[in-house]
């Protein structure tokens, strides 16, 4: 029965691509379109996933737990953004990465609430009502549907006057201010929406793993999103999706190298590093990025 | 005198150095007023203070009778007081058209929800704003470049773009910080014509910082001279030309008071 397991494997890859695609789309809104240097993107993924798991285990309806989880990651985005978005980019980067680590240590240490290092797994399945042979494919459909909705929503927003203000903030905050825009408000909105999208990705990931674990929310995951965004081309939503496909495909294809997990893990990072160097040398705008835009930086 | 902007005893220091030392003057409505003075006189600091980019220690700045101090830049702009920057600042990775479309005040589509809920209304507004932008681009002969990135324009064209963008705000008053610096003579004549036209036909008041004295003598009806954070002279171009205090300030002569 090699064929069904192969099909299942591709379904699994499709789900991972969807989750990373969503996660990267959120970062792309913040960085690509608004210029917010968020190095703590993974925190918002974890907040939604843990909230959902904790509330559902406590007996709350799954659907409501999901909504509250995503809402809380949005609120967290606002709360983190409010005091920090007036900071210069590099300071913001430090604050956000610190925040994401504080949150992760909270998961590890507050075991009474979060299950500690072992995480939480007793929450309901999203598609528990489906017969088991359809669960995977059903979950793929849900994931891709959410990805599609978020993508269309973002494209609409980016091409609206609202998106135009975001781009002006990315280009030159002072000009944006001088043209009468309350840039602080827009940055908070961008971070809040980006965080909400990360929250959706986090919840999907939790259902996919049947588990939420502190180690799923390491800073490394944030940098995966950065790799995807840069690879696909910043400020391009389609680029983020292409980036996610390439990134996940690369990750999965190296899985079968007969070197053992630790070595494969290190080798991956070496290869990704080399690929990024080559990308910066030969296609610095990313795969779908606009070369004309890049020339303007010089 | 019908003044649009009244500045009264504004003080600002940076690390103990007084940039503005009680500057006071008012700007007459519908006039082109020049603000000159040697380097370090506090002209740009004053511009930044008027537009809310820096807050002064004391004093009062009133625009159409309303106090501006304490208000953030975006609120001041929305009252119809717009500015340009000393160094031209175009939004390079946005098209020329988008640079202009960004500027109008109070656009429904600039809130995060309306583009999703009422895309039709937002689109209607966009069409209107786009028409206005086309008119202004034609006025500045930039219409051919509307779909190009602002960053690909020449230095002179960027100056025009900055002025065009400010007009999209439909301002009552514009502060121009060295709009003529590094501009070739033919373009600078053009800019002068534009400014005069805008004043005559749209009743926009101008306050301009300028180092090109002959040019400012030609353009401005009223000139304010600053030195060391204070206003040292004011008058018609002829009066300023012959004012000993002004000459001294430019030449660095110190008087015992």
Query: What is the mean pLDDT of the segment spanning A165-184?
Result: 94
Tokens of A13: 């890859």
Is A149 or B139 the better-scoring residue by pLDDT?
A149
- Percent pLDDT > 90 in chain B is 64
Chain B residues touching A164 at Cβ < 8 A: 94, 98, 101-102, 110
- Residue A261 forms contact with B (CB below 8 Å): no
What is the pairing mode between strands B205-209 and B173-177?
Answer: parallel
- Residue A173 forms contact with B (CB below 8 Å): no
**Weakest mean pLDDT among A15-19, A52-56, B237-241:** B237-241
Angle at B140 between CA B36 and CA A297, to 5 degrees: 80
> Does residue B92 have a pLDDT over 80?
yes
Residues A177-218: tens digit of each pLDDT: 999 999 999 999 999 999 999 999 999 999 999 999 999 999
Q: From the list A161, A164, A296, which residue is nearest B149 (CB)?
A: A296
B209 burial (CB, 10 Å; 0-12 / 13-18 / 19+) is buried
Top residue of B80, B84, B115 to mutate, by most chain A CBs within 10 Å, is B115
Nearest chain A Cα to B127, which residue? Answer: A161
Query: Nearest C-alpha of chain B: how many angstroms from A16?
Result: 28
Is B254 or B8 the better-scoring residue by pLDDT?
B8
Most confident of A18-27, B120-129, B153-162: A18-27
Query: Nearest C-alpha of chain A: how many angstroms from B254?
Result: 37
Beta carbons of A296 and B94 less than 8 Å apart: no
Rounded to an integer, what distance in angstroms lies between the CA atom of residue B56 and that of residue B68? Answer: 11
Nearest chain A Cα to B150, which residue? Answer: A296
What angle in degrees, to the nearest 10, is found between the helix axes of A161-171 and A132-158?
70
Query: Nearest C-alpha of chain B: how many angstroms from A235?
Result: 11
What one-character-per-residue DSSP string does A64-112 give? Answer: HHHHHHHHHHHHHHHHHHHHHTTS-HHHHHHHHHHHHHHHHHHHHH-HH
CB-based contacts of B111, cutoff 8 Å, min separation 6: A162
CB-based contacts of B109, cutoff 8 Å, min separation 6: A160, A161, A162, B115, B122, B125, B126
Residue B187, pLDDT score: 84
Residues A257-287: tens digit of each pLDDT: 788 888 888 888 888 889 888 888 888 888 8
> Does residue A116 have a pLDDT over 80?
yes
Contact between residue B84 and residue B179 where contact means Cβ atoms under 8 Å apart: yes
Beta carbons of B102 and A160 less than 8 Å apart: no
> Does residue B13 have a pLDDT over 50?
yes
Chain A residues touching B84 at Cβ < 8 A: 178
Tokens of B1: 């005198």
Chain B residues touching A193 at Cβ < 8 A: 112
Rounded to an integer, what distance in angstroms lies between the CA atom of residue A231 and that of residue A202? Answer: 22
Contact between residue B170 and residue B198 where contact means Cβ atoms under 8 Å apart: no
- Chain A residues 128-157 within an 8 A CB cutoff of chain B: 153, 156-157
Nearest chain A Cα to B171, which residue? Answer: A179
Q: From the list B93, B101, B108, which residue is nearest A293 (CB)?
A: B93
Strand order in the sheet with B58-63: B17-28, B3-14, B58-63, B66-67
Strand order in the sheet with B230-235: B81-83, B173-177, B205-209, B32-36, B222-227, B230-235
Residue A168, pLDDT score: 96
pLDDT band at B169 (very low <50, low <70, confident <90, very high): very high
Top residue of A159, A160, A182 to mutate, by most chain B CBs within 10 Å, is A160
Per DSSP (E only), the strands in chain B are 3-14, 17-28, 32-36, 58-63, 66-67, 81-83, 173-177, 205-209, 222-227, 230-235
Rounded to an integer, what distance in angstroms lies between the CA atom of residue A248 and that of residue A273? Answer: 15
**What separation in angstroms does the CA of B134 have from each of A40, B140, B142, B160, B165?**
42, 10, 9, 14, 11
Query: What is the mean pLDDT of the segment spanning A170-183?
Result: 94
Q: From the list A160, A165, A193, which residue is nearest B102 (CB)?
A: A165
Residue A133, pLDDT score: 86
pLDDT band at A78 (very low <50, low <70, confident <90, very high): very high
Q: From the list B103, B122, B126, which residue is nearest A179 (CB)?
A: B103
B238 burial (CB, 10 Å; 0-12 / 13-18 / 19+) is exposed
What one-character-per-residue DSSP string does A137-195 give? Answer: HHHHHHHHHHHHHHHHHHHHHHTSHHHHHHHHHHH-HHHHHHTT--HHHHHHHHHHHHH
Top residue of A173, A178, A184, A236 to mutate, by most chain B CBs within 10 Å, is A178
A108 burial (CB, 10 Å; 0-12 / 13-18 / 19+) is middle
pLDDT band at A3 (very low <50, low <70, confident <90, very high): low
**What separation in angstroms does the CA of A97 have from each of A45, A100, A149, A218, A224?**
13, 5, 28, 10, 14
Nearest chain A Cα to B48, which residue? Answer: A178
Mean pLDDT score across all residues of chain A: 92
Rounded to an integer, what distance in angstroms lies between the CA atom of residue A199 and that of residue A42? Answer: 9
Nearest by Cα to A185 from A13, A18, A34, A46: A34
pLDDT band at B257 (very low <50, low <70, confident <90, very high): very low
Residue entry with tokens 């909400």: A196
Query: What is the mean pLDDT of the segment spanning A56-72?
Result: 97
Beta carbons of A175 and B77 less than 8 Å apart: no
> Does residue A34 have a pLDDT over 90?
yes
Prediction ipTM score: 0.89
Query: What is the mean pLDDT of the segment spanning B17-46?
Result: 92
Nearest chain A Cα to B88, which residue? Answer: A175
Query: What is the mean pLDDT of the segment spanning B123-140?
Result: 94
pLDDT band at B256 (very low <50, low <70, confident <90, very high): low
> Does residue B168 have a pLDDT over 80?
yes
Query: Nearest C-alpha of chain A: how many angstroms from B31?
Result: 22
Chain B residues touching A183 at Cβ < 8 A: 74
CB-based contacts of B34, cutoff 8 Å, min separation 6: B207, B208, B210, B216, B219, B220, B222, B223, B224
CB-based contacts of B247, cutoff 8 Å, min separation 6: B253
Is A199 or B86 the better-scoring residue by pLDDT?
A199
CB-based contacts of B110, cutoff 8 Å, min separation 6: A161, A162, A164, A165, A181
Query: Nearest C-alpha of chain A: how many angstroms from B245?
Result: 34
- pTM, whole model, 2 decimals? 0.91
Residue B254, pLDDT score: 59
> Does residue A67 have a pLDDT over 70?
yes
């Amino acid at each position: 029965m090699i064929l069904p397991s192969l099909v299942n494997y591709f379904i699994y890859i499709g789900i991972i691509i969807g989750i990373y695609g969503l996660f990267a789309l959120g970062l792309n809104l913040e960085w690509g379109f608004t210029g917010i240097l968020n190095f703590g993107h993974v925190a918002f993924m974890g907040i939604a996933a843990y909230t959902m798991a904790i509330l559902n285990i406590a007996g709350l309806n799954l659907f409501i737990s999901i909504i509250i989880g995503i809402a809380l990651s949005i609120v967290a985005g606002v709360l983190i953004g409010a005091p920090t978005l007036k900071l210069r980019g590099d300071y913001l980067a430090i604050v956000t990465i610190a925040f994401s680590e504080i949150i992760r240590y909270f998961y590890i240490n507050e075991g009474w609430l979060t299950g500690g290092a072992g995480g939480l797994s007793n929450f309901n399945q999203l598609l528990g009502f489906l017969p088991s042979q359809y669960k995977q494919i059903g979950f793929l459909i849900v994931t891709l549907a959410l990805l599609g909705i978020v993508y269309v929503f973002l494209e609409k927003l980016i091409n609206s006057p609202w998106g135009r203000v975001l781009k002006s903030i990315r280009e030159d905050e002072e000009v944006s201010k001088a043209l009468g825009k309350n840039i602080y408000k827009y940055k908070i909105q961008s971070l809040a929406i980006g965080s909400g999208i990360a929250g959706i990705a986090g919840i999907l990931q939790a259902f996919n793993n049947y588990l939420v674990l502190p180690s799923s929310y390491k800073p490394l995951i944030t940098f995966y999103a950065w790799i995807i965004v840069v690879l696909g081309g910043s400020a391009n939503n389609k680029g983020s999706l292409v980036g996610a496909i390439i990134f996940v495909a690369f990750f999965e294809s190296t899985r079968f190298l007969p070197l053992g997990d630790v070595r494969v893990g290190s080798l991956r990072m070496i290869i990704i590093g080399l690929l990024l160097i080559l990308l910066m040398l030969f296609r610095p705008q990313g795969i779908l990025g606009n070369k004309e835009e890049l020339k303007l930086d010089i | 005198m019908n003044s649009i902007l009244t500045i009264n005893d504004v003080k600002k220091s940076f690390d103990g150095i007084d940039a503005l030392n009680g500057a006071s003057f008012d700007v007459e409505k519908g006039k082109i007023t020049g603000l000159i003075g040697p380097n370090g006189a506090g002209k740009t600091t004053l511009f930044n203070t008027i537009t809310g980019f820096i807050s002064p220690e004391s004093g009062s700045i009133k625009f159409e009778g309303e106090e501006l101090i304490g208000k953030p830049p975006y609120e001041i702009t929305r009252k119809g007081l717009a500015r340009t920057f000393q160094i031209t600042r175009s939004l390079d990775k946005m098209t020329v058209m988008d640079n202009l479309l960004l500027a109008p005040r109070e656009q429904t589509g600039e809130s995060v929800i309306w583009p999703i809920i009422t895309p039709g209304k937002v689109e209607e507004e966009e069409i209107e704003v786009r028409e206005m932008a086309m008119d202004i681009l034609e006025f500045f002969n930039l219409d051919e470049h509307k779909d190009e990135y602002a960053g690909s324009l020449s230095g002179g064209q960027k100056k025009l773009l900055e002025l065009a963008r400010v007009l999209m705000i439909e301002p009552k008053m514009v502060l121009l910080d060295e709009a003529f610096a590094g501009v070739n003579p033919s373009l600078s004549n053009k800019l002068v014509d534009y400014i005069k036209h805008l004043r005559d036909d749209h009743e926009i008041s101008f306050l301009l910082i300028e180092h090109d004295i002959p040019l400012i003598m030609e353009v401005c009806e009223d000139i304010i001279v600053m030195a060391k954070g204070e206003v040292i002279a004011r008058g018609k171009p002829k009066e300023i030309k012959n004012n000993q205090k002004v000459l001294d300030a430019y030449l660095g002569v110190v008087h015992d008071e």
